[in-house]
Amino acid sequence: MEMKTEINASKPSGLKSILGKMDVRAYTMVAAVVLIWIFFGLMHDTFLTARNLSNLFTQMSVTAILAIGMVLVIVAGHIDLSVGSLVGLTGGVASILSNWLGMPTSVVIIGTLVVGALLGMFQGWLVAYQAIPAFIVTLGGMMVFRGALMGVTKSSTISISDPAFALLGNAYFAAGFGLILAVLAIGAILWSTLKKRKSREKYGFDVAPMGVDLTKIGFISLLVISFVLLMNSYKGIPFPIIFVIILALVFSFLANQTSFGRHIYAIGGNPDAARLSGVNIRKKTMLVFLLSGLLASIASLVLTSRLSSATISAGQMYELDAIAACVIGGTSLMGGSGTILGAIIGALIMTSLDNGMSLMGLESFWQYVVKGSILVAAVWLDISSRKKKATK
């Protein structure tokens, strides 16, 4: 009788089980974005215009791309303070290849990506194989890369004159493409939800009522349609957003559906257990930093193209925006937990705050104060939730 009582007590109630299957934090962050937009919309009448929101999403793309790579680094239990300077350096490389050497756009892109990946891999090698703390390696990298940018460009601004290269950060897709993308996205959401539901039923796991799943699908589909219609009402979907969507899908698959992703979470959660399980921690750590460098070079291509130039100040403080986006999105600085989707929503929150405060004409120091306070609050909430789980 005691065993039966204990089993029943451990089984979650129906409502608790349903809520457990819903990513409550993700919906909370979406609600936070909505509240931020409403607040700034009331404070400044141009914030919620299609033009401004289109610019906002374009601005968000660089932070979001950096945050995607930063998630893997933090999940593995490390930090990368060099991505902002790496954005500046690889942007300088791209501008030199394009403007000074007259290379075609394809060569510029490949060359920039190779430089970013190699520099990221070198930092990962120092962390993984030379046992130098990631904080020190990437702090040094932040200064070295910034200094190298000044030396290579001779502290001057290099303009981009190649119209094909300029399209990377400034082009818009036609309205028809946006509608096709919306239909494909909604179809993928429906297929994924139903497939996951059938899989759970097949193996005897609890599933939420069909009405709950349909409500989730309807809510997400509404967001997708609203986004596409909003972008189409201006010029269409900005090209940089497609970069973010593709990279988010690829890295979400990498993190959730591959052995590499599972190993990264295992390393960050319990490195000793991961080592005993046969995980090659050194190799995986080096690959994580390689991917972070690669994504920083992609972000640099978008930023340099959008600004049509490379400057010595490009990428400054971007590493802090990327880290803040990850933490706000639910990535734990202790390692072992975090999602790509959460980081992207976090990037949207950070960019919305920047955009809104700029429109309101607030002095730059207020922007630092607000963003810094939000970062500290997000870490505090993460630590508090971990303490509560540990005491249960």
Average pLDDT over residues 34-57: 93
| 372 three-state secondary structure | helix
CB neighbourhood size of 101 (10 A): 10
Mean pLDDT confidence for 103-120 = 95
| The dihedral formed by the CA atoms of 14, 15, 16 and 21, expressed in degrees to the nearest 10 | 90
What are the structural domains, with CATH classification, of the chain?
26-36+45-171+238-384 (1.10.3470), 172-237 (no CATH)
Predicted pLDDT at 374: 83
Show the CA angle centred on residue 78, arms to residues 283 and 335, nearest 5°: 105
Highest mean pLDDT among 53-67, 164-178, 324-338, 357-371: 53-67
% residues pLDDT > 70 (the chain): 93
Q: Are 375 and 317 in contact (CB under 8 A)?
A: no
Bridge partner residues of 159 (DSSP)? 309
- Measured distance CA(342)–CA(328) in Å, rounded: 8
CA–CA separation, 5 and 8 (whole Å): 5
Where b means 16+ CB within 10 Å and e means fewer, 188-197 reads: ebeeeeeeeb
Query: Quick check: 314 pLDDT over 70?
Result: yes
How much is the pTM? 0.90
With a CB cutoff of 8 Å and minimum separation 6, the contacts of 78 are 127, 134, 285, 288, 289, 335
Distances (CA, A) of 59 to 46, 170, 368: 16, 11, 17
Chain-centre distance for alpha carbon 392: 31
CA–CA separation, 127 and 286 (whole Å): 7
Is 303's pLDDT higher than 80?
Answer: yes
Residue 20 has pLDDT above 80, yes or no: no
Q: Is the pLDDT of residue 82 over 60?
A: yes
Average pLDDT estimate for 356-385? 84
DSSP codes of every residue in 308-346: TEE-TTTTTTHHHHHHHHHHHTT--TTSS---HHHHHHH
Instruction: Please write the tens of the pLDDT for every residue from 83-101.
Output: 999 999 999 999 999 988 8
Report the distance separating Cα 143 and Cα 273, nearest Å: 35
Return the pLDDT at 17: 40
Give me the phi and psi of 83, to 5 degrees please.
-65, -35
- In the structure, what pLDDT confidence band is assigned to residue 392 with cuts at 50, 70 and 90? low
Q: Give the CB-side neighbour count of residue 91, counting CA atoms within 13 A.
A: 36
**Average pLDDT taken over every residue of the chain:** 88
- Sign of the CA dihedral running 65, 71, 73, 74: positive
Which of the two residues, 383 and 295, has the higher pLDDT score?
295
User: Higher model confidence: residue 72 or residue 219?
Assistant: 72
pLDDT band at 23 (very low <50, low <70, confident <90, very high): low
Average pLDDT of 162-179? 89
Residue 12: per-residue pLDDT: 40
SS3 of 43-90: the string is: HCCCCCCHHHHHHHHHHHHHHHHHHHHHHHHHHCCCCCCCHHHHHHHH
Q: What share of the chain is helix, strand, coil (3-state, %, to 5)?
A: 80, 0, 20
C-beta separation of 345 from 329 below 8 A: yes
pLDDT at 51: 94
CB-count burial class (<10 Å; 0-12, 13-18, 19+) for 244: buried
